[in-house]
Each structure stands twice: as C-alpha cells, then as structure tokens.
Amino acid sequence: MTIHRTLEKSLNRWKEISGLDFALIAPDGKEYVNTGSRKLPSSQNLEEFLSQTAISKASGNLHYFKIYQQEELSCLLLVWGKGVSSHTIGELAVCQIEELTDACQQRLDKNTYMQNLLLGNYTPIDAYNRAKKLRIAHQCPRAVLLVQTKKSRDEAALSMVKNLFTARTGHYITSTDDDTIIVVKELSPGESLDSLENTAITLVDMINTEIMTQAWVGYGNTADDLNQLPQSYQEAQTALTIGRIFYSGQTTFSYDRLGIGSLIYQLPMPICEKFIKETFQGESLDSLDDETYTIIRTFFENDLNLSETARQLYVHRNTLVYRFEKIQKKYGLDLRTFKDALTFQLAMMVNNYIEYRNSADS
C-alpha cells in the first residue's frame, strides 16, 4: 500500500471519530486526500501561510498545519472545525501523519533493510521477501566494510562516505551504533580481497584528507548472497577489534589476515594470565626499562642479528650480549635463540591483550 493510500485510510477514520473534515495537500496546492471534498483555500492564502515561520494557524473554521519529514516540509494538513479542540485534533493528526510517514519510509528504506539484515533481525525468508520488495538482488557478491573514526558520531565522515558510495551503484551505507559506519559494497566481477584492501585504504586516506581525522577500516570475507552478509559483518567487526589491539601501526584490517592476534584474542583471560606468569616466572614486563625495550624491539626487527642491531643502536656488540644475559637471568629466556625470542614476542602480544581487556573492563 502506498503512503497516500495509508494516509487516506487514516484520515477517513479520523473523520468518522471526530466528525471533522481533513485534507492533505502538497505545498504547491496539489491535493492528495480530501475527506469531505471541501473547497481548498486560495493559493494566495496558502502561500501566505507557507511564508510564515509558524507551523500552524487558525483562520476562522479552517486550521492550517505544516508537516515535516526529516526536517523538510513535505505537505500541509487542513482541518475544518470550530474552536480550540479542532486545532488540538489537528495537532494530534500531524503527529500521527509524521509517524506513519516515517514508518512507511523506513519500510521502503534500503539502508535500513541492510542495517536490520546485518543485525540478524530477519529470518531468511523474511530477508528474501523484503529484498524482493525493495528490488535488492538476493544473489550478488558483496562485502561489508566497517569504518571507525577517532570521534564517534562523526557526521562529516558519514556524509563523505555516503557521497563516495551512492545507492544507485548497489552500495549501502548505514550504521548500527554511534561509533561505526557500515559500507555494504557490491563487488564487480573479478573484484577480490585485494581490491577490498584498496577500497579500505582509499576510505582511510579520504577521511584523513577530507575530514582530517584518523580512521580505521575492517572488512570480512565476500558474501555471495544476502543471508551470508551477517557473517561478513561479524567478520569485519572482529577484524577491526583485533586489528586495533594487536596491529596498532595499521589502519586497515582484513579478517583473513589477522594472524596470531586472532588466536590470542580467543584465549580466555585466565589462560593469558597463566601464560604470562609462566613465561616471566612471576616477574612483570613493566619492570623492563625503555632502553631494554628498544634493544629487544630492534633485535627482533633485525631478525635476531646482533651485529646489525648493535650497528643501528650505535652500541658495541658486547654491550648487547651483556644486556641479553641480564634478560636471561631475570626471565629465564635467552632472546638470542629463536624459541625463546618467539616465546617472548608472543608474551608481549598477550600482555598487550591483557592490558586492553583490563582497560575495556574498567
């Protein structure tokens, strides 16, 4: 049923209840609904009312009301009746009409459909039927990208993303919370995860340069039909969460390339804490000074090459040997061996994860 048919039905019911006549017209005077076939006011009177800032006025037995949709004037309601009570009925009718219009619009809104689909609010059959009504292809390769900016509820970023991906091209932009913009992107033939990485990088660069704020993008695997999209959304969320914990130097994160961070993220906290206790034999990683941390980092970046590390840090090789012997004495780990270096690296990642969970919980 179209919106006007719905409103016509409602206005006729209100006439039966209140005994008043109602008419719904466009701002240019075009008639949508007229319950009593009443004569409409002259165009001069209509224009006079439109030019005023007031949202309603009473002129004899005729009451004028402006109706807005998403802050824009959509139509006018006219109510014929005497006294204040008629005006009040008119005001109630305006509320109802605005609500009904929003509800109908929402039903027809493709982006809202996508939002509900991603949140798993539809059964498979419901999702299929609604997609059919909205003329959204059921079987079509798509991917979900999630965009986070430094500031939550960043309207400028949302506006920018919307303008990059328009609905006409089969892409949908929506959000399920204040922090994240969701892009459901239709993929062209031949588009792969690599091209999604390019899209993610472009989004980050565009937000950096146009909106001048930090941004991060996570994306999941491709979905070949609509019912797979909720999973793609979950994967994108996971990618973003894990990526921001473990790979803080990056701004784009693919679910398929989360590496060891993905494993650590799934570990229960007691296991993580046990691992740290075992690895460092009760000692804390916090007791490492900045200089030692730098030495360890540089050593790992140079693939456990002592000479190259010494050269980069402008220290003697023997100084490094002494430092590593000190670390070994403290933690029982000889970082010059692959096995212990790997253990230490894993422990640092687990430690970062524990810190993240503690700060998230507090």
Partner 1 sequence: MASLSLQHINKTYSNGYEAVKDFNLEIEDKEFIIFVGPSGCGKSTTLRMVAGLEDISSGTLLIDGKKMNDVEPKDRDIAMVFQNYALYPHMTVYDNMAFGLKLRKVPKDQIDKMVKEAARILDLEKLLDRKPKALSGGQRQRVAMGRAIVREPKVFLMDEPLSNLDAKLRVQMRIEISKLHQRLGSTIIYVTHDQTEAMTLGTRIVVMKDGIVQQVDSPSVLYSQPANKFVAGFIGSPQMNFLDGQVVQNGGEIQFKVENYALTIPSSKASVLKDKGYVGKKVTLGIRPEDIYDSQVFLESSPGSVMESTIKVYELLGAEVYLYFDLGDAQITARVDPRTAAKSGDPIKFALDMEKAHFFDSETEMSIVN
83 vs 62: CA distance, rounded Å: 10
| Closer CB to partner 1, 116 or 254, in the complex | 254
- Stretch of residues binding partner 1 (CB under 8 A), selected from 110-118, 127-135, 242-250, 318-326: 242-250
262 three-state secondary structure: helix
> Which region holds residue 216: left if phi is over 0, alpha if psi is between -120 and 50, else beta?
beta
Beta-sheet pairing, 215-219 with 252-254: parallel
CB 127 to partner 1: min, Å: 29
Nearer CB in complex with partner 1: 85/307: 307
How would you classify residue 246: left for phi > 0, otherwise alpha for psi between -120 and 50, otherwise beta? Answer: alpha
Q: What is the CA radius of gyration of the chain?
A: 31
Question: For residue 63, which of 43, 108, 93 has the smallest C-alpha distance?
Answer: 93
Q: Does 18 bind partner 1 (CB under 8 A)?
A: no
Tokens standing for residue 196: 């999604």
Report yes or no: 204 and 216 within 8 Å, Cβ to Cβ.
yes
What's the closest the beta carbon of residue 191 comes to partner 1, in angstroms? 15
What residues between 189 and 218 interact with partner 1 by CB under 8 A? 198, 201-202, 204-206, 208-214
How many chain residues bind partner 1 (CB under 8 A)?
Answer: 36
Q: Are 137 and 75 in contact (CB under 8 A)?
A: no
Residue 357 makes CB contacts below 8 A (sequence gap 6+) with 269
Angle, helix 306-313 to helix 290-301, in steps of 10 degrees: 130
Nearest approach in angstroms of CB 278 to partner 1 is 21
Q: Which is nearer to partner 1, 24 or 296 (CB)?
A: 296
129 lines the binding site for partner 1 (CB under 8 A): no
The nearer residue to partner 1, 32 or 247, going by C-beta atoms, is 247
Is 134 within 8 Å of 158 (Cβ atoms)? no
Q: Which of 179, 308 has the CB closer to partner 1?
A: 308
User: Could you say which of 28, 47, 291, 301 contacts partner 1 (CB under 8 A)?
Assistant: 301
The residues in 34-93 that bind partner 1, with binding defined as CB under 8 A, are none
360 near partner 1, rule: CB under 8 A? no
188 lines the binding site for partner 1 (CB under 8 A)? no
Contact residues for partner 1, defined by CB under 8 A: 156, 159-160, 163-164, 166, 168-169, 198, 201-202, 204-206, 208-214, 246-249, 293-294, 296-298, 301, 311-312, 348-349, 352
